[in-house]
A and B are shown apart, each in its own frame.
Chain A
Amino acid sequence: MQLTNRKKVLEQKPMTVAEKMYLPAIFNGLSITMRHFFKKKPTIQYPEQTREFGKEFRGLHVLRRDEQGRERCTACGLCAVACPAEAITMVAGERKKGEEHLYREEKYAVSYEINMLRCIFCGLCEEACPKEAVFLQNDKTVPPRFERDEFIYGKDRLVEPLNQANSKDNIKYRY
């Protein structure tokens, strides 16, 4: 490929008399603006309407279940140490007899909290997770709330509901 590596000098010309009248410039600008009145509106009526997110969008977290509806998370803590904002805390517990249908691994997260006010949605937790348990969904965001406590998401709000398990359409496997 031949490289041009040119220097492109941009010249400015002195203003003409017509330009110095200024009034035409105002009407010219107004006409462009008015033409935009008849174009498609770029705005949407949020929150009644919401825009479509890209497939890779990093939104609200979810703790996934496996094919049999068991929680995948084994509370290894990798997401917590990988988190640059230190938003994740968890308490690990040992699975008891008879709980095999609830938790996939012998160790599981008794509590798992993400502070959504700290979270920067960078996705490093998802990248770190060795069990493909934590994911950032591409169709949900954190809704606005009035109290700070309500932004600390526990397992009740993070773990995928049972009936939705295996619905892979809003989860992406990326790495």
Chain B
Amino acid sequence: MKSNRVILEQLQSRFSDATFTEQTTKDEIFTLWIPLDQVQKILRYLKYEIQSPFTFLYDLTAVDERTRNRSTNHVPHADFTLVYHLFSYTGNCFIRIKVGLFGEYPSAPSITSLWANANWYEREVFDLFGIKFEGHPHLARILMPRTWEGHPLRKEHPARATEMGPFRLWDEKEDREQEALLFRPEEWGLERQSEDSDFMFMNIGPQHPGTHGVLRIILQLDGEDIVDAVPEIGFHHRGAEKMGERQSWHTYIPYTDRVDYLGGVMNNLAYLLAVEKLAGIEVPERVKVIRVMMCEFFRIASHLVWYGTFAQDLGQLSPVFYMFSDREKVFQVVEAVCGGRMHPNWFRIGGLSQDLPKGWETLVQNFLDYFPKRLKEYDAMVLKNSLFKARTKGIGIFTLEEAIEWGVTGANLRACGSDWDFRKKRPYSGYEFFDFDIPTGQNGDCYDRALVRVEEMRQSLRIIEQCLKHMPEGSYKADHPLTTPPLKKHTMQDIETLITHFLNVSWGPVIPAGEAMSCIEATKGANSYYLISDGNTSPYRARIRTPSFPHMQMLPYITRGYTVADLLSILGAMDYVLADIDR
């Protein structure tokens, strides 16, 4: 592409002594290998100086390359690769920067001075790969327990508990674990006292209704005021990325359901878009529209949970019950279509698991007739309630620049005034054919975030209505050899087709070597699956970029100076799911 050439030329003229190696990928994101010693300089240039600068550090991760089958894909040799995904809002394009690292436990320069949100990403890479970052302010484990031995995403680390031998807790180990649990404020970067006051430390969570999951927030308090807040995450870590390397391409789909468990099929979509890019599958129009419809149903379901629990956090007890029973109406549709509720596991590589059931139109129409009235009542009950307003207006403000610096996406970004919605700006799965508005806020406070999400539900209804009216005819599976599983009527004919069926559901498809990243506007923000295939029956690396992770990282920054009661408004308005943060 032309713009890629321009970027490369600019880089080469600026850094004449560095060598840039271009790599072609399936998703057509411009991918460049850069030398290790110039990482900071080049990234700084990309962030500040280049035309249409890449201001947004979208994702930072690593790949253990040591056991990769190289015969199928030409990539420069390295033991580990650091992968930086940058995004430019002005140029509307991604760039993927790769840095090769050598040795058992290599180290790389930290970029925390460049991007505020690099901090947690680098800690995550250190935790899961053992790669050290020089100049990082607090390089400690983040997802795994502090007493964990080994780095799970390294290829030599066992993928399942049965490979590790039976668990034993002998006395010394118990003492060590207990010792690690002791709270020492210094380890968390917290002072015990200032010049004029002794601070109080308070844990919110891991078991607290206001944290919406197993999240611990250590508060450093001066009276009622928050001096600092340190979120401790990882309680919900289930190793979704590691499991991706073990499951086949096909049997990983149910696992994606559980990443953002309020988003249901939306996770399937993010994963499958990446797989389909790798496989080169173009799905039929009908599949696209059905996928969009179900995704929007899940957006409404997720926003309803957020809406109810947010109101509950602020002291309104009734809305959460009404909203959960309305969510049940969404799940009636979802159950009738998918057969599951929160974990529908319904999309497949190259299509859907089955066609829409008979009578789906009535179900969807009933919901469309029913729901707007309810939204109106909720407006009267929650949004127009002056107590609610008093607790959310002017609380937890961040500006658009801060939002981009910290990697905020989704409704939280739009509440700051940006109209960035990946459904509109980088359409996927046929969103370009739908007519809907992008709600934005102006102040970037908790109340605006609420306004934006409520309006998003209305827009979702519009999209669903269009799906209902313009549902195309056609097959629910793509006619492609890698579609898994293929239409059953094509499989049970003779021994030849039966063998194909056996291979397809046992090994799953063999996805051609390459790498691809999807990017969708999920319920909480930008969700991505960055998949690397080395031509095998399972991904070589499955990286999940979730929106809640950077949102939670921003928490200390936006809560300082507020009171504990405000913290709950901020947490409620942020709309995160712990499974989405910890994966």
Per-position binary interface string of chain B over residues 243-257, scored 1 when its CB falls under 8 Å from any chain A CB and 0 otherwise: 000010011111100
Give Cα distance in the complex from A91 to B437, angstroms.
57
Q: A-side binding surface: helix, strand, loop or mixed?
A: loop
Are A127 and B380 closer than 8 Å at their CB atoms? no
Are B247 and A84 closer than 8 Å at their CB atoms? yes
Knowing A42-B325, A78-B505, the reply to whether A7 touches B440 (Cβ < 8 A) is yes
Are B339 and A58 closer than 8 Å at their CB atoms? yes
B residues 320-351 touching A (CB-CB < 8 Å): 322, 325, 328, 332, 335-340, 343, 345
Which one of B45-53, B103-111, B485-493 is at the interface? B485-493
Give Cα distance in the complex from A9 to B338, angstroms.
35
Q: Give the contacting residue for B442; candidates A12, A21, A54; CB below 8 A.
A: A12
Knowing A56-B338, A84-B252, A122-B254, the reply to whether A19 touches B437 (Cβ < 8 A) is no
Q: Give the contacting residue for B438; candidates A6, A56, A84, A136; CB below 8 A.
A: A6
The chain A residue with its CB closest to the CB of B329 is A42
The chain A residue with its CB closest to the CB of B328 is A42
Q: How many residues of A contact B (CB 8 A)?
A: 51
Closest chain B CB from A76 CB (angstroms):
8
Are B393 and A12 closer than 8 Å at their CB atoms? yes
Contacts of A29 in B (CB 8 A): 316, 318, 381, 385
Contacts of B387 in A (CB 8 A): 22, 25-26
Which one of B275-283, B300-308, B448-456 is at the interface? B448-456
Q: Give the contacting residue for A5; candidates B390, B424, B492, B501; CB below 8 A.
A: B424
Closest chain A CB from B328 CB (angstroms):
7
Are A12 and B318 closer than 8 Å at their CB atoms? no
Are A1 and B451 closer than 8 Å at their CB atoms? no
Contacts of A7 in B (CB 8 A): 419, 437-438, 440
A residues 76-95 touching B (CB-CB < 8 Å): 76, 78, 81-85
Give Cα distance in the complex from A28 to B387, angstroms.
11
Are B318 and A36 closer than 8 Å at their CB atoms? yes
Are A20 and B437 closer than 8 Å at their CB atoms? no
Q: Give the contacting residue for A32; candidates B251, B381, B448; CB below 8 A.
A: B381
Give Cα distance in the complex from A20 to B433, angstroms.
44
Q: Give the contacting residue for B488; candidates A11, A55, A175; CB below 8 A.
A: A175
Are A53 and B354 closer than 8 Å at their CB atoms? no
Knowing A12-B442, A123-B353, the reply to whether A4 touches B437 (Cβ < 8 A) is yes
Q: How large is the interface on B (under 10, 10 to 19, 20 to 34, 35 or more residues)?
A: 35 or more
Closest chain B CB from A134 CB (angstroms):
12
Are B318 and A33 closer than 8 Å at their CB atoms? yes
Per-position binary interface string of chain B over residues 212-252, scored 1 when its CB falls under 8 Å from any chain A CB and 0 otherwise: 00000000000000000000000000000000000100111
B439 within 8 Å of A (CB atoms): yes
Knowing A123-B353, A127-B353, A175-B488, the reply to whether A22 touches B390 (Cβ < 8 A) is yes
Give Cα distance in the complex from A26 to B251, angstroms.
51
B389 within 8 Å of A (CB atoms): yes
Are B354 and A122 closer than 8 Å at their CB atoms? no
Residue among B252, B335, B388, B505 with the highest chain A CB neighbour number at 10 A: B505
B357 within 8 Å of A (CB atoms): yes
Give Cα distance in the complex from A38 to B8, angstroms.
68
B443 within 8 Å of A (CB atoms): yes
B377 within 8 Å of A (CB atoms): yes
The chain B residue with its CB closest to the CB of A43 is B325
Contacts of A136 in B (CB 8 A): 339
Closest chain A CB from B466 CB (angstroms):
9
Are A11 and B505 closer than 8 Å at their CB atoms? no
Per-position binary interface string of chain B over residues 440-483, scored 1 when its CB falls under 8 Å from any chain A CB and 0 otherwise: 11110001100110010000000000000000000000000000
Are B437 and A8 closer than 8 Å at their CB atoms? yes
Are A82 and B437 closer than 8 Å at their CB atoms? no
Are A11 and B345 closer than 8 Å at their CB atoms? no
Contacts of A24 in B (CB 8 A): 386
Per-position binary interface string of chain B over residues 386-410, scored 1 when its CB falls under 8 Å from any chain A CB and 0 otherwise: 1111100100000000000000000
Are A25 and B419 closer than 8 Å at their CB atoms? no
A124 within 8 Å of B (CB atoms): yes
Are B340 and A32 closer than 8 Å at their CB atoms? no
Contacts of A130 in B (CB 8 A): 491-492, 498, 501-502
B435 within 8 Å of A (CB atoms): yes
Contacts of B335 in A (CB 8 A): 53-54, 56-57
Are A78 and B354 closer than 8 Å at their CB atoms? no
B506 within 8 Å of A (CB atoms): yes
Are B448 and A12 closer than 8 Å at their CB atoms? yes
Give Cα distance in the complex from A121 to B335, angstroms.
13
Contacts of B332 in A (CB 8 A): 54
A residues 101-160 touching B (CB-CB < 8 Å): 120-124, 127-128, 130, 136, 138
Q: Give the contacting residue for B448; candidates A10, A55, A81, A82; CB below 8 A.
A: A10
Contacts of A4 in B (CB 8 A): 435-437
Residue among A15, A53, A56, A127 with the highest chain B CB neighbour number at 10 A: A56
Give Cα distance in the complex from A29 to B435, angstroms.
35
Q: Give the contacting residue for A9; candidates B380, B442, B492; CB below 8 A.
A: B442
Give Cα distance in the complex from A33 to B377, angstroms.
11
Q: Give the contacting residue for B377; candidates A32, A124, A128; CB below 8 A.
A: A32
Give Cα distance in the complex from A138 to B338, angstroms.
12
Closest chain A CB from B451 CB (angstroms):
4
Are A25 and B345 closer than 8 Å at their CB atoms? no
Give Cα distance in the complex from A15 to B316, angstroms.
19
Are B325 and A84 closer than 8 Å at their CB atoms? no
Closest chain B CB from A74 CB (angstroms):
12
Q: Give the contacting residue for A175; candidates B390, B487, B506; CB below 8 A.
A: B487
Are B337 and A56 closer than 8 Å at their CB atoms? yes
Contacts of B502 in A (CB 8 A): 76, 78, 130
Knowing A58-B339, A130-B498, the reply to whether A32 touches B380 (Cβ < 8 A) is yes
Residues of B within 8 A of A (CB): 247, 250-255, 316, 318, 322, 325, 328, 332, 335-340, 343, 345, 353-354, 357, 377, 380-381, 385-390, 393, 419, 424, 432-433, 435-443, 447-448, 451-452, 455, 485, 487-488, 491-492, 498, 501-502, 505-506
A-B contact pairs, 26 of them (CB 8 A): A1-B433, A7-B437, A9-B440, A10-B442, A12-B448, A12-B451, A15-B389, A15-B393, A26-B387, A29-B318, A32-B318, A32-B380, A57-B339, A76-B502, A78-B505, A82-B250, A82-B505, A83-B251, A84-B254, A123-B340, A124-B250, A124-B505, A127-B353, A127-B485, A136-B339, A175-B353
Apart from A36-B318, A130-B502, A175-B353, what 6 extra A-B contacts exist at CB < 8 Å? Answer: A12-B393, A22-B387, A29-B316, A78-B505, A84-B251, A175-B485
Residues of A within 8 A of B (CB): 1-12, 15, 19-22, 24-26, 28-29, 32-33, 36, 42, 53-58, 76, 78, 81-85, 120-124, 127-128, 130, 136, 138, 174-175
